[in-house]
């Protein structure tokens, strides 16, 4: 099964291309124009063992909001296409990830129903030049377009960079688990309804 996608999304604010391989090895090529976002996307690729090729051109002369949100949207679209009919997947994924004093938990369900529960009390509003409010926008865009239920909780942390990095690492690992093919469930939809 070839679980890949190549999505291009263009608006008046951004032009985004995302190519993904859900069964990759963590290879990545990232060029969003937002260095901290590239660093976080790298965490998804490496910890999710997902090959990611993402290029974005956005209105960064205004700020990073549209670029970060639209990368999340386009990544969600790519995951939705790559996951296909969801036959044989585990469906649910979860991960706890620490980084020094910080600890985050992410739980993901390929439910077909978009929803985000996001509880990340960042200890400061900026990580370098990156506005931490954009983390929520990224994951909201992803959840809406990947059609997943997504719960993100930072359980503790003092350093905002550590808080953010644990969120993205845990997300990558939860996504990997949920998207994995389960040999015992080969060819079946993991739902009593028979569809997701």
pLDDT in tens, 18-55: 999 999 999 999 999 999 999 999 999 999 999 999 99
pTM summary value:
0.97
Location of structure tokens 């490496």:
46
- CA-to-CA distance for 190 and 93, rounded, in angstroms? 13
Share of the chain above pLDDT 90, in %: 93
- Given a contact cutoff of 8 angstroms between Cβ atoms, the answer to whether 6 and 78 are in contact is yes
Q: How far is CA 154 from the centre of its chain?
A: 16
| Residues 125-153, mean pLDDT to the nearest whole number | 98
User: What is the greatest pairwise CA distance in the chain?
Assistant: 51
Q: What's the pLDDT score for residue 196?
A: 86
Query: How high is the mean pLDDT of the chain?
Result: 97
Residues 6+ apart with CB under 8 A from 109: 91, 92, 93, 148, 149, 150, 178
| Residues 93-107, mean pLDDT to the nearest whole number | 98
Q: What's the pLDDT score for residue 54?
A: 98
Provide the b/e sequence for 133-144 (b: ≥16 CB within 10 Å). ebbbbbbbbbbb
Per residue in 166-177, pLDDT (tens digit) is 999 999 999 999
- CA-to-CA distance for 78 and 98, rounded, in angstroms? 28
């Amino acid at each position: 099964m070839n679980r890949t996608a190549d999505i291009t999304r263009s608006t008046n604010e951004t032009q985004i291309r995302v190519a993904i391989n859900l069964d990759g090895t963590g290879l990545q090529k990232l060029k969003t124009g937002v260095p901290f976002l590239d660093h976080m996307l790298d965490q998804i690729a490496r910890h999710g063992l997902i090959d990611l090729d993402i290029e974005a051109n956005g209105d960064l002369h205004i700020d990073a909001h549209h670029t970060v949100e639209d990368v999340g949207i386009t990544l969600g679209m790519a995951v939705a296409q790559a996951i296909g009919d969801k036959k044989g997947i585990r469906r649910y994924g979860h991960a706890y990830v620490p980084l020094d004093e910080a600890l985050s938990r992410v739980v993901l369900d390929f439910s077909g129903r978009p929803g985000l529960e996001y509880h990340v009390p960042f200890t400061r509003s900026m990580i370098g030049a990156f506005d931490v409010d954009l983390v929520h926008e990224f994951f909201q865009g992803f959840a809406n377009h990947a059609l997943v239920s997504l719960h993100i909780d930072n359980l503790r942390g003092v350093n905002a960079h550590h808080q953010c990095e644990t969120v993205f690492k845990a997300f990558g690992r939860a996504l990997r688990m949920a998207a994995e093919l389960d040999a015992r469930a080969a060819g079946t939809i993991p739902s009593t309804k028979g569809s997701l």
